[in-house]
Structure 1
């Protein structure tokens, strides 16, 4: 069975793009006992579990109760097969990332590569929102001028949180979009607006638009209920596969799993720094030894 992909609430589970995309699990569950039993079942069935959750705005100390529950579950089970990944994306962007990992879980990637691919794929997700007010927005820098304008009747702001934060007033500037083919997800709140589909989608030259429900966490994340959230990202599994497979793979020096990037997704151990110049010039016979032998 493929590596299980899990999220912290059911509204972060997007519909599969095809019949081959496995569903996402939801963790934690209502009680600690249910969470323990559910996670144990996922490990027994899939071998490894990758859990995505929204990274707190002010560091690990601000983790929500559900994240603390997940850490408790991993500790009680004493399992090194659970990756807990706090991702700094808005809720809809996180749901899109989970969908991408679900697609890739059917490929031949090892659990370690799949977990560490989350940070790579997040860089290619354009996540933002159309806001009726930025007075409560603390995730993206807001100037005093924008704060003042947000009190004007009918004011609307287009905000990009990832990959590079940016805020513009609708009708005055445009948000920079991706330079590659994407599919756009739109989750309309109150009041609804067609600006995302009528203006942003054509400007970004997206290859498809899908309406999805607004995640419950979105209102708190963006600081207002007057919003329409959007997220654009890669959707073709062959392109996603090529992106991940093009990155050099390493072996985690702590847990032994494969990884890409500079940090293991399961044990969080960083990749060791490159060897010093003197070590790099070790005798040829030593360099020829198989890894793990002396």
Structure 2
């Protein structure tokens, strides 16, 4: 929610979540005039219904949603980054920078087993080794999910891109291997600090295991968020006026004109009307947005 620390809705599918969300959304609308709901793209149905019902019951289009394809801990971090940035940027800009913040993270988990991992391409041999005692896997989730079997020769997979220095890490342990994270992954990422946090409620389901150590690494540089905001070019939505860089306005749903679209030629004036036949032009009908969030 904008203008405050990001508030959590425990389970959007729970009927009681609607009442909790309505109370929080009403307060946020009165305080800041807008609400941005960040939710996992891989569990979107409940969030879509929640936002639609809230918009209808509160009679407002100032509640938007932003789906992100991130693991639970990384998703929680981006929500907090947006809440931190909210006092300094319009809500449409916040929605626009959310995917860029997600791209700058390095997120994943240590798993004892990948036998029930639904995301990523775990090989048959990795599935079989999941049943052996002492097995461990490093699973990263970025543009695509990758699975690496941890061995003594290669305890950490190759890291092609790491966050800007100084690198900070959040870690949530649930019967996993925090020693691996501290002794192997932290040096590989050159992280200066690891902070332990509570495990998100959706983590076990996302990773397909009750034994995991989830992590997310991000830049602690004071200008990193500022750089992201400056690199995203927003224009005002022609329908509601909200600044956005997304294909469709997150609030009114209006599709935005492409930035690279060629300019339309100006209309050429027609022949002058004959005397006594000119009429005032009729006002064009008001159009409605083609889509809704």
TM-score normalised to the size of structure 2?
A: 0.79
Task: Give 1:94 shift.
Answer: 0.6
Query: Which one of the candidate residues 224, 227, 240 is aligned to 1:239?
Result: 224
Q: Distance in 2 between matches of 1:87 and 1:209?
A: 24
1:40 alignment partner, one of 26, 42, 48 = 26
Looking at structure 1, the residues matched to 72 and 40 of structure 2 have their Cα atoms a distance apart, in angstroms, of 7
Conserved 8 A contact 1:93-1:127: yes
The answer to whether the Cα contact below 8 Å between 2:73 and 2:200 also exists between their aligned partners in 1 is yes
Q: Does 1:84 align with 2:68?
A: no
Structure 2 unaligned segments of length 5 or more: list them. 268-293
Is the 8 Å Cα contact of residues 5 and 51 (structure 1) preserved in structure 2? no
> In the alignment, does 2:117 pair up with 1:137?
yes
For 1:93 and 1:67, the matched residues in 2 are separated by: 20
Deviation at 1:238, TM superposition (A): 2.6
- State the Cα distance separating 1:260 from its structure 2 match: 2.6
Judging changes above 3 Å, is the alpha-carbon distance between structure 1 residues 170 and 117 closer, same or farther for their aligned structure 2 residues?
A: same
Task: Give the aligned partner of residue 289 of structure 1.
Answer: none
Alignment deviations for residues 151-208 of structure 1 (CA, whole Å, 9 cap, x no partner): 2221100000114421101123514151522211111111443111211111011232
3-state SS of 2:87 partner:
coil
Quote the RMSD (CA, aligned, Å): 2.8
1:99 to 54, 66, 80: 80
Q: Deviations over 1:60-88 (max 9, x none)?
A: 5xx23x55233211222221111111211
Equivalent-residue separation in structure 1 for 2:51 and 2:8 (angstroms)? 9
Aligned-pair distance for 1:272?
A: 1.9
Secondary structure of the structure 2 residue equivalent to 1:84: strand
Q: Which runs of 4+ in 1 moved over 6 A?
A: 26-29
Q: 2:129 aligns with which of 145, 149, 163?
A: 149
Matches within 5 A, 1:137-286: 137-171=117-151, 172=154, 174-176=157-159, 177-181=161-165, 182-274=167-259, 277=262, 279=263
Where in structure 1 are there 5+ consecutive unaligned residues?
12-25, 284-294
User: Which residue of the other structure, out of 83, 107, 111, is the alignment partner of 2:91?
Assistant: 111
Shift of residue 129 of structure 1? 0.4
Residues of 1 paired with 2:28 and 2:260: CA distance? 39
Partner of 2:9: 9
Between 171-180 and 123-132, the greater mean CA deviation after superposition = 171-180
Secondary structure, aligned partner of 1:199: helix
Tell me by how many angstroms 1:39 deviates. 1.5
Change in Cα spacing, 1:10 to 1:106, as seen in structure 2 (3 Å) is farther
For these two proteins, the number of residue pairs brought into alignment is 262
2:16 to 26, 30, 34: 30
SS of residue matched to 2:82: helix
Q: Determine which of 35, 38, 42 is the counterpart of 1:56.
A: 42
Structure index of larger Rg: 2
Query: Residues 98, 34 of structure 1: CA spacing in aligned structure 2 closer, same or farther, 3 A cutoff?
Result: closer
Q: Contact 2:249–2:256 at 8 Å: present in 1 too?
A: yes
Match of 1:16?
none
Secondary structure of the equivalent of 1:85? strand
Q: Write the distance in 2 (CA, Å) between the matches of 1:179 and 1:253.
A: 36
**SS, match of residue 207 in structure 1:** strand
Distance in 1 (alpha carbons) for counterparts of 2:109 and 2:171 = 9
Instruction: Give the CA deviation at 1:148.
Output: 1.7
* Cα-to-partner distance string for 1:212-249 (whole Å, 9 max, x where unaligned): 11112100111001100000113344320122112222
CA–CA distance in structure 2, aligned partners of residues 207 and 254 of structure 1: 46
| Secondary structure of residue in 1 paired with 2:94 | helix
Whole-Å Cα distance in 1 between the matches of residues 236 and 223 of structure 2?
24
